[in-house]
Amino acid sequence: MESVELLAVGRGSSVVPVSFEILDREGASLRMKFSDGDWKSFTESNLFKCLLSARTDLEKEDLLLCCQGARPDVFPSGMQQQMDNGRFAAVLSRSAEEKEIVDIFAAAEPSQVTSVEGQRVAVYQFFNLPISDAGRDA
């Protein structure tokens, strides 16, 4: 088990610390809590999907998680989701140079992150896919 401390930002630039416990054994599981709250668990097929579930939960509280996995230009390939359980993701770029890979749980600046839906739209646009309700499971 690995512990990670991140920040979430809300309206009016409020900042809230959020604790995570990453369980990366069989399948993937993520536990999240605010400093004064109880743990919430998210179990999915890989860590990126766990992070999406946690972010969706935070967005219900009008909070955006400040991590690399919440950037609109970051998304794991299918191979990354299988090989490293979704822990690392590529920074989407049209450059022919070597692709930058980031840890989805590494901190990011508030100006770099977006909502789950904003990320989905950005990824669809990057790949020139029609934006629809299809494929919401990332």
pLDDT digits 0-9 by tens, 63-73: 999 999 999 99
DSSP state of 68: G
Task: Judge whether 133 lies within some domain.
Answer: no
Task: Judge whether 59 lies within some domain.
Answer: yes
Q: What is the pLDDT of residue 132?
A: 73
Task: Judge whether 138 lies within some domain.
Answer: no
Task: Judge whether 78 lies within some domain.
Answer: yes
Task: Judge whether 64 lies within some domain.
Answer: yes
Kindly give, in sequence order, each residue whose CB lies less than 8 Å from that of residue 39, ignoring residues fewer than 6 positions away.
21, 31, 32, 33
- Confidence (pTM): 0.90
pLDDT digits 0-9 by tens, 4-36: 999 999 988 899 999 999 997 777 999 999 988
Task: Judge whether 94 lies within some domain.
Answer: yes
Residue with structure tokens 């369980």?
Answer: 23
Task: Judge whether 116 lies within some domain.
Answer: yes
Number of domains in the chain: 1
CA 12 from centroid of its chain's CA atoms: 22
Task: Judge whether 89 lies within some domain.
Answer: yes
